[in-house]
Amino acid sequence: MENIKANVMLDAKGLACPMPIVKTKKAMNELAAGLVLEVQATDIGSKADMKAWAESTGHQYLGTLEEGDVLKHYLRKSSSDETMEEKHPNVAKNEELEKKLKEAENIVVLDVREAAEFAFNHIPNAISIPLEELENRLHELNKEDEIFVICRTGNRSDLAAQKLTENRFKNVINVVPGMSQWSGETTSINS
């Protein structure tokens, strides 16, 4: 089983509804925006509960892994800056990237979401470098490549595109609205 990196782990094993959600809500309130919470629960109903709760509160439900009788739920705390204006001038819509991928053009898709977000759903052959690691991992990318940067909403990818351009990457495109509305082919650890 692939190990998903979470910033905080919450033990809700042995608790029945509604306690896993109560504890998750408390832990989420203490978590910084953008971080990933892993909730370990044994209540089978928690799978539907976690997804519904995350969607109703604006947080991102990433997915659930089952290990024996333990359900590991992964949630990302929403941040208020995810609707920030775009600053990187070179932007492509999801459909443009999907078309380029189908035409098998020689492009690089750089996914700057957290590793857990990437693991549960990403574009095949995309490179995962979370935004916070980008500065230290620039050497993994070729400055001459055409790089399409994607995140969940276009905000983190906008910041990443700016960072790449500042570091003399020649052809960087921010993809909007990003994975939150991606309808093209995806893969995940569950596939």
Which residue numbers are catalytic?
17
Element (H, E) at 43: none
**Taking a C-beta distance cutoff of 8 angstroms, is the pair 123, 109 a contact?**
yes
- Here the tokens at position 106 are 């020689």
Q: How far apart are CA 183 and CA 191, in angstroms?
A: 16
Q: How far apart are CA 152 and CA 154, in angstroms?
A: 6
Q: How far apart are CA 178 and CA 176, in angstroms?
A: 5
